[in-house]
Structure 1
């Protein structure tokens, strides 16, 4: 083993030990003190916009030189709206109720003592993420407010920006008297640091990966710590026979083109056969105007070709592909049941939408699609912690245990039982 590898392992282990100690202290910090630190961070971001832009420019230049895709470059950019989003997200989280200590249930035992179930922090949470530097702030503030210590491991493509943001977090903690080790950023992009982090189950209670499928599968397969995750965002929009075509067009175009490189962007379009001839050309033309490549099944292609709308043949592989780009797959279906079957087979349990004026069809869809978030006449782009009133999110879970969908403050907590009596003993 090389000295460098030993040093990396030592640094990561020290970070984890310090985080565990900080988490025990943070679990008992008042809401007022946590909010003060979060609000101070918002101020520091506002005060340091130019220096953050400078660091982000270094990452953008390096990414362009490495030939990174346009979609990934877009994720990396710390533009005005994302800076404003971080600031607003921090202020929203500070304004939200503190979940720690919330009474979930209470039971009076026949022998007279009480058993109360209360919400508590998970402990130490490791967040492993790629590209988007705003994740540094989102995760830091959510973990802090929920009483958890966090260890942040960002991707190499955003290293300078992440380092600068993490320094502001540390400064906010220090200036408000909270443990500075409550939020730590791993100061290396070496894969050895990640390998070490994933084995520290004695100090770290939960791992949350945010990024591409390759990263998430690596983390899931190599971690000895419980992982909360989603692999893909294969989101499908179904235009039912009772859909308003103008509404459907707006929703489909927004879901696909508003921000195509994110996990809640639309990837598949299903259209009911009874309105396909009238609805599909309208939707397809609007998508083409936005530069979207159309991949169609035989029935959809026949309609598109008859209207001189360019498209290519969809393959079986396309239905289960997360493009993260201006590409959409199109299929004609015969019913709500077929649409639901398609989604439950090819989808990733992320976000799926029905566009219809029929409440019965909508209810059937909302109940029958096995996804963490289901929509009726709303763009899938709203699957987001900020939009759900959570202030921000630490990730979107498609798992079925503990948390599902956008993960906010409550999803970052576990619970314990407090039993209080007057000397009762079991007979």
Structure 2
């Protein structure tokens, strides 16, 4: 383990040393952190005909991140680096597949003892525009890199971000390969086809083009238009409008409206319209949310396999994005900073979906999910920056899918190196 970690750290740190410029800003504006992430995952399959009774694994992750500053001049040059290592603490062939660890190819359905990944990103800055080429972790409505397990999902490609025009943010780029959260390998990108989405794709793709325009009209109102094309699989347009309405001392109403249109691009049957709305009333440390989501078209919502979906009802286990599905959500959050306990937060929500199209002659599918999160981050003392989070979920469905009970316990500690 120590040799693998040293190898990962050394390669990641190499990004800050290769072709090191003489300009001091390259180093002075740089920062490096080491995140330790200890993750226990337990998922019980409750249906009688389940082929696997549970997924249960425990692992330790190490994530070293380095971000340099930029050299001086018309075009500033910089380098970012990422080194990751995952180590198995507990697993077995009967309990593997949680997404924490890759399956061991030499053992039937077993998990590897350790795995790692290194990534380098070159970056170039002109004015308020930055071009990154290499390893990317995009966070855009059309592609949201997943970071819900031991290691984050990463992509290889190019991403241009520009904020030269006041209030306007422009993003554009192309992704060529993906490395999933439980893998060290880069591969072509595919579609999420699980559940009752009815999506059929005959190929994967090595090209994902994206562009986004986001404009902040005021401190309360913002909107965005996003386009993406997963070559040969689908085209997608997403619009989003968010508004925050102050209602007096300690009160507000946030509205989040989303609409997406997805169509096939030759080698799939994607045909989807997704409408979502989330309204959240804030009162001191309390937040009360109501959400609605509606799928229409021949298939469910389309997004790259392994990523998060930009949907108001995308939650811990389900996405409620099956063909013709209608779903609603009730959510409650509380921030204990309001009563003098900063760092402690609580969230619970309930979602219900119905009208799921399971095919001709079959009854409509239904599902519901309940989530609870409790998290605490130590604010001071010797344990400062140590985070503890417990996530619990229950999922039940009729006529399709799995019935699941799930618990996740996550300990994380971020150590600033400089």
Note whether the superposition's TM-score is higher than 0.5.
no
Q: Which has the larger radius of gyration?
A: 1
Structure with the largest fraction of helix = 1
Q: What's the TM-score once normalised by structure 2's chain length?
A: 0.26
Structure with the largest fraction of strand = 2
